[in-house]
């Protein structure tokens, strides 16, 4: 029988036991005793009780008996009260209920606890343990943690919140707030106020307003300093209460404090206003003045566009014509448009604004023969720079081209004409300052334009005057149809590179098929090679004489001749004893003679004209096999650069070792240039072969 000190509690306790006896788990009450109670509890005991009561209740624990071996901190034997993972209380010792210091009962505000009883190896005094009851007791949530924003109402097993007049319980069933959402404003001008303004606005509220104007107008929001008072933190942060404006994907705010927001041009005819408050404060709120303005469209449709007509401001329904700035073009898919029409729309955007002005692309600059071109980009304003491959070519024309707004690469004169890498002529390592006695063997690089002309039955010489043309004597070629084989690139013609001829062009006034020739007037011909030759140190052209030049070469001026012809003759009783034809190119120095003096030494049966030059002296002359080769002089205007030009072509003579007659090239420069120009114009559309590489890098 349990003895209660308070009769009311005892009666209530038994009613609870009877009323809840049939309740399902979790239980409303229960009894717990130590093992073997009321006998002595065993040694090494370890027993656990799991106590659960329904939600909304706590656990009240009543002890009716307590007799557990006493030790410091209840180390030996003890009853533990465990909530969660923490031990809330240890019980041990012998207690008479009603004595000071022992809590006969204790309330635990939890729905779940564990009791754990343990004993050690010795219970010599036969301690009898404990007896207790637990009862589910109502929790007064209102007094414990004040869960409601306004009014808290407790009932057995739970609580509910309520609100003062004009407030409504929010979805969380805890917070009271004012229903201030749903305001729609469609007038062109008006005012919007926070709830109760100028009285303090309600706490725990979320107010939403919308301004919706006719398409083509934007909402303008303005504020006055006396009409803005929203709670803020000491550092000005808007984490307590805040005003936020949303329009056309933009956010303005949050705003709070006593400084009003600036005038806001929202750019949209639809504006949402959101006002959020927390549970504290007594600020008076705000007033917004809204008005309308026609929505402007941007002053450019997109980057690099030009609008016509041009205005400081474009408004709804304005029409314009759009084109691109210089260097840009309108692109729609794969089509290019000169311009298009656009309309300012109600949302402040232009129609057809999906088009774009893209930089004009000139494409890769055209490649040049014997040149490289460097560039990084091919769009408007970019540069392309041409440079010849090596020192044996010279760039004629501008080297820098710009990508124009028309999509063309143009030079400084706004022309598309490309430059050319023209061959550098007359470049040699030979110097006339060297003393020459008789014939000498040439070294590679001395006369890199010399060409051996092989007609099978006889040989001759020729001179490269460009990367595809050779000038020689007409008399060694016989006719137009006979094409010789050429050897180039080495002073030893046996080591030279074989080059084939595409076309033979004799001077039109050269007399063909003459048996006993005494007339060598117009003894000149051109050979077109099958393909161009890539110039280098072993092969490059000789210069042609300057047009109109009359002072050079002068009488007695020393020139040079070279060839693979007969090196010498040994005579005995007017008979040729030995003729030497060398493999290595021979050269010698010859002075220019007075043509009239030479004419006196020639039989009258021979024709001598102003198209001829006379050069040579005893022991220095050309011989058979040298015909077609050049009579060379150093350009007096380019002595520092050692440029040589061809003044004559070996034509005829009476005998070796005295003097010889040469075709005067200066008289034929026009014919040479016009003939080459005509042929190349006729063949401009033909596919060209890759230039032939003759020089080999060591």
Active site residues: 475, 523, 627
Whole-angstrom distance, CA of residue 592 vs CA of residue 586: 19
Side-chain-side CA neighbours of residue 585 (13 Å): 31
Residues in CB range of 346: below 8 A, 6 or more apart: 215, 216, 269, 295, 316
Is 138 marked as a binding-site residue? yes
Is 361 marked as a binding-site residue? no
Whole-angstrom distance, CA of residue 372 vs CA of residue 557: 41
Is 77 marked as a binding-site residue? yes
Whole-angstrom distance, CA of residue 642 vs CA of residue 634: 7
Q: Classify each residue of 241-263 as buried b or exposed e, where b means 16 or more C-beta atoms within 10 Å of its C-beta.
A: bbbbbbbeeeebebbbbeebbee
Is 154 marked as a binding-site residue? yes
Torsions phi, psi of 600, nearest 5? Answer: -70, -25
Is 604 marked as a binding-site residue? no
Q: Classify each residue of 148-183 as buried b or exposed e, where b means 16 or more C-beta atoms within 10 Å of its C-beta.
A: bbbebebeeeebbbebeeebebbeeeebbbbebeee
| Secondary structure E strands in 445-508 | 450-454, 459-464, 469-472, 485-488, 497-506
Is 467 marked as a binding-site residue? no
Other Cβ atoms within 10 Å of 295 Cβ, number: 26
Is 122 marked as a binding-site residue? yes
Is 249 marked as a binding-site residue? no
**Do residues 384 and 411 make contact, with C-beta atoms less than 8 angstroms apart?**
no
Is 590 marked as a binding-site residue? no
Q: Is the peptide bond before 697 cis (omega within 30 degrees of 0)?
A: no
Residue pointed to by tokens 């040729």: 576
Is 231 marked as a binding-site residue? yes
Whole-angstrom distance, CA of residue 285 vs CA of residue 191: 14
Is 392 marked as a binding-site residue? no
Give, in order, the Cα–Cα distances in Å from 61 to each of 16, 22, 49, 109, 127.
Answer: 14, 20, 13, 11, 21
The DSSP line for 632-688 is EEE-GGGTTTTBEEEEEEEEE-SSTTS-EEEEEGGGGHHHHHHHHHHHHHHTTTSPP
Cite the annotated binding site for Ca(2+) by residue number.
69, 77, 120, 122, 138-139, 141, 154-155, 158, 231, 241, 278
Cite the annotated binding site by residue number.
69, 77, 120, 122, 138-139, 141, 154-155, 158, 231, 241, 278
């Amino acid at each position: 029988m349990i003895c209660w000190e308070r009769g009311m509690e005892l009666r209530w306790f038994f009613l609870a036991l009877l009323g809840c006896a049939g309740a399902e788990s979790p239980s409303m009450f229960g009894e717990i005793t130590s093992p073997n109670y009321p006998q002595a509890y065993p040694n090494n005991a370890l027993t656990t009780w799991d106590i659960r009561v329904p939600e909304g209740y706590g656990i009240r624990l009543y002890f009716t008996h307590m007799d557990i071996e006493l030790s410091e901190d209840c180390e030996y034997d003890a009853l533990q009260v465990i909530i969660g993972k923490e031990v809330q209380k240890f019980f041990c010792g012998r207690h008479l209920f009603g004595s000071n210091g022992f809590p006969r009962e204790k309330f635990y505000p939890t729905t779940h606890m564990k009791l754990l009883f343990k004993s050690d190896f010795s219970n010599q005094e036969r301690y009898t343990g404990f007896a207790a009851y637990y009862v589910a007791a109502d929790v007064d949530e209102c007094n414990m943690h004040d869960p409601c924003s306004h009014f808290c109402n407790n009932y057995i097993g739970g609580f509910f919140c309520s609100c003062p007049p004009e407030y409504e319980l929010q979805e969380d069933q805890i917070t009271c707030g004012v229903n201030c959402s749903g305001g729609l404003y469609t007038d062109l001008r008006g005012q919007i106020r926070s709830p109760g303004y100028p009285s303090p606005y309600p706490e725990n509220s979320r107010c939403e307003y919308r301004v919706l104007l006719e398409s083509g107008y934007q909402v303008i929001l303005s504020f006055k300093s006396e009409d803005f008072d929203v709670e803020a933190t000491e550092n000005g942060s808007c984490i307590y209460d805040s005003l936020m404006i949303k329009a056309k994907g933009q956010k303005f705010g949050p705003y709070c404090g006593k400084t009003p927001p600036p005038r806001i041009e929202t750019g949209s005819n639809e504006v949402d206003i959101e006002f959020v408050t927390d549970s504290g404060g007594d600020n008076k709120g705000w007033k917004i003045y809204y008005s309308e303005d026609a929505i402007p469209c941007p002053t450019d449709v997109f980057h690099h566009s030009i609008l016509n007509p041009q205005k400081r401001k474009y408004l709804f329904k304005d029409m314009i014509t759009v084109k691109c700035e210089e260097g840009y073009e309108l692109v729609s898919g794969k089509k290019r448009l000169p311009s298009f029409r656009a309309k300012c729309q109600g949302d402040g955007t232009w129609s057809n604004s999906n088009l774009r002005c893209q930089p004009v692309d000139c494409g890769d600059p055209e490649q040049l023969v014997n040149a490289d071109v460097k560039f990084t980009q091919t769009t408007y304003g970019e540069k392309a720079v041409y440079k010849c491959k090596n020192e044996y070519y010279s760039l004629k024309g501008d080297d820098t081209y710009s990508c124009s707004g028309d999509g063309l690469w143009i030079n400084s004169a706004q022309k598309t004409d490309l430059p050319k890498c023209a061959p550098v002529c007359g470049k040699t390592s030979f110097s006339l300052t060297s003393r020459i006695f008789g014939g000498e063997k040439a070294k590679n690089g001395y006369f890199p334009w010399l060409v051996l002309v092989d007609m099978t039955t006889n040989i001759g010489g020729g001179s490269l005057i460009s990367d595809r043309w050779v000038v020689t004597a007409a008399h060694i070629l016989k006719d137009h149809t006979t094409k010789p084989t050429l050897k180039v690139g080495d002073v030893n013609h046996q080591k030279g590179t074989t080059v084939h001829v595409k076309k033979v062009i004799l001077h039109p006034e050269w007399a063909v098929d003459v048996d006993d020739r005494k007339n060598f007037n117009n003894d000149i011909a051109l050979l077109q090679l099958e393909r161009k030759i890539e110039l280098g140190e072993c092969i490059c052209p000789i210069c042609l004489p300057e047009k109109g030049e009359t002072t050079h070469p002068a009488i007695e001026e020393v020139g040079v001749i070279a060839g693979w012809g007969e090196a010498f003759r040994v005579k005995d009783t007017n008979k040729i004893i030995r003729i030497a034809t060398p493999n290595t190119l021979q050269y010698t120095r010859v002075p220019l003679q007075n043509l009239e003096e030479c004419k006196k030494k020639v039989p009258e049966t021979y024709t001598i004209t102003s198209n001829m030059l006379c050069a040579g002296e005893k022991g220095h002359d050309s011989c058979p096999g040298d015909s077609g080769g050049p009579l060379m002089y150093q350009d007096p205007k380019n002595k520092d650069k050692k440029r040589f030009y061809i003044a004559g072509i070996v034509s005829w003579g009476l005998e070796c070792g005295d003097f010889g007659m040469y075709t005067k090239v200066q008289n034929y420069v026009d014919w040479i240039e016009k003939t080459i120009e005509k042929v190349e114009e006729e063949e401009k559309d033909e596919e060209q072969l890759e230039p032939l590489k003759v020089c080999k890098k060591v």
